[in-house]
Chain A
Amino acid sequence: MKKEEVPQDSCKSYSGHKKLIYAVDEQGHYEGVKSSGWEVEGFATEMAVKALDEQLAKATTEYQQGEISALGYYIPLLRFDLMSLAHATGFFQWQIKRHMTVAIFNKLSDKKLMKYCAVFNVS
């Protein structure tokens, strides 16, 4: 990629920041060039962010309607998934799934709740 070909598409996900891309100058040598984003990359990022937002919106309604526990709401809110949360808390994925039901979540011991609180940084 030539220096003048480095995309400057002002991607939304960059929030005004710039990233460094390596590109070739007129003499055929490399240098670092600041880029405000590439539309192609931006599209992929927005797709991922949109999917996360949808998950969160779904969890919010389900939580408000009492279908899932607060845990089910916090997972997408803090951009966790079952696997990363299992790693972070030491619970198994099936345990976390169980804890997402309201009845079981309400009966959780303080010790177990504290594990979640520590990972989510809430008290």
Chain B
Amino acid sequence: MNSIVNNVVHRQSSHCESGVVANMLNSQGFELSEPMVFGLASALMFVYLPMVKVGGLPLIAYRMPPKSIISSVCKKLDVKLTSQKFSNEDEGMKALDQALSEGKLVGLQTSVYWLPYFPEDMRFQFNAHNLTVYGKNEAGDYLISDPVFEDVVTCPPENLKQARFAKGMLAAKGLMYVMDKPQVNADLEIQIRKSIKKTAKMMNGLVLPFFGIKGIYHLAKKIDKLKKSSEQEVGMFLSNIVRMQEEIGTGGAGFRFMYASFLDEASQLLQDEKLHEISKFTTEVGDLWREFAMKAVLFCKKRKNISLEEVSESLRVCAQHETLLREKLLAWSK
């Protein structure tokens, strides 16, 4: 079999979706950092959905839902996005080969569980992972730039097929996408301002108490109520929050550091000192989230000097600072 190797710029990223978008655009000579992609997509969020259970634990997220980064960045920057889903698995694989032979980089949505290059402890049933395929070697294995890994990886076709067509929640249904960079680059300054305004507005949460700052307070209240639960339950509940915040490719502190990095980059681009100040404040907010995670884990380790109230109080401090951050962002983007 002939090998195909298309040009790819692989840079390790914190998060799969923003990383794939950045890498796919960078490979075409459209320079864009991962935090810039994340910020432009207004992807910063907080969600606590007690009624949606993942592995028996409530859904907690620090960002907007999957696929929103890809679609919103492409729209904002006039990138032509062509995506396809397949009902037939073999057709889906054929279309991938076809696009590769045309010299394209192909983005895929996949399950994490069936990708053999993932270490055992990171494999779980999650269907909204993103990666870029950039070719195929002589043995028929796909060449993959998986943004959360340091280096490029390979994957046998059977495994990739299984990963693309894994069924279940957020099932990818073989989703593949190609991006074509725009002829004229969009005006970043306007887009940055718009996206910051959107984030600031969303941070307050919607009508329901599950999103943004309201969601954080809601979660704090729930932690207070855990007093009546067994030690095991409290442990699983708290460690789940910490995992969602730190483990699941967030760049630290549930994307807060990545967002601060975006504000920092934007301040340099726009020569705006005020924005750099807000970036510094966002770093403080991120540090507070890390402190909360530390306290939650200390509580799980049954250190006597820490109480459940201190854990929930630490979360409330995060919420208070996010309120301040929201005001600052809102004032800046007016």
Contact = CB atoms under 8 A, between A and B. Distances in A.
Contact of B169 (A19, A28, A49, A84): A84
A88 B293 contact: no
Decide if the interface of chain A is mainly helix, strand, loop or mixed.
mixed
Nearest to A16: B119
Given A23-B252, A30-B35, A41 B150 contact: no
A1 interface: yes
A43 B113 contact: no
Contact of B293 (A24, A41, A81): A41
A23 B257 contact: yes
Interface string B49-77: 00001111000000000000000000000
B242 A22 contact: no
Contacts of A34: 12, 150
Instruction: Please classify how large the interface on chain A is, using the bins under 10, 10 to 19, 20 to 34, 35 or more.
Output: 35 or more
Interface stretch (B100-108, B196-204, B279-287, B318-326): B279-287
A20 B13 contact: yes
Nearest to A89: B167
A1 B287 contact: yes
B247 interface: yes
B239 interface: yes
Contact of B12 (A14, A20, A48, A87): A20
Decide if the interface of chain B is mainly helix, strand, loop or mixed.
helix
Interface string B76-94: 0000000000000000000
Of residues B167, B240, B249, B294, which shows the largest number of chain A Cβ atoms within 10 Å of its Cβ?
A: B167
Contacts of B251: 20-22, 32
B168 interface: yes
Interface string B253-282: 100011011001100100000001001100
Nearest to B33: A32
Of residues B13, B236, B246, which shows the largest number of chain A Cβ atoms within 10 Å of its Cβ?
A: B246
A121 B123 CA distance: 16
Interface string B130-172: 0000000000000000001110000000000010001111010
Interface in A5-30: 6, 12-24, 28-30
Given A1-B252, A20-B13, A79 B124 contact: yes
Interface of A: 1, 6, 12-24, 28-32, 34, 38, 40-41, 43-45, 47-49, 51, 78-81, 83-85, 87-89, 118-119, 121
17 contacts: A1-B252, A19-B14, A19-B148, A21-B257, A22-B261, A23-B257, A28-B276, A28-B280, A29-B268, A30-B257, A30-B260, A31-B261, A32-B34, A40-B297, A44-B246, A45-B243, A119-B166
Given A13-B121, A28-B280, A34-B12, 11 more contacts: A1-B253, A15-B122, A21-B251, A29-B268, A30-B35, A43-B297, A44-B243, A44-B300, A48-B239, A79-B113, A89-B167
